Amino acid sequence: MKQRHVCCWASLAVLLMLAAVPAGAADVKDLFAVDLADAPGKEGRMIEVSYPPGAHDMVHRHDAHAFVYVLEGTIVMQLKGQPAVTLSAGQTFYEGPADVHVVGRNASDTEPARFVVVLLKAKGAPVVKPVTE
Q: Which long-range contacts (CB under 8 A, 24 or more apart) does 1-6 make?
A: 3/33, 3/34, 3/35, 6/33, 6/35
For residue 25, what pLDDT band results from cuts at 50, 70 and 90?
confident
Average pLDDT on 51-80 reads 95
For residue 24, what pLDDT band results from cuts at 50, 70 and 90?
low
Give kind and range of the element (H or E) at residue 43. strand 42-51
pLDDT number for residue 11: 46
Average pLDDT on 111-120 reads 97
For residue 40, what pLDDT band results from cuts at 50, 70 and 90?
very high
**Contact, 118 vs 93, CB < 8 A?**
no
Q: Is the pLDDT of residue 4 over 60?
A: no
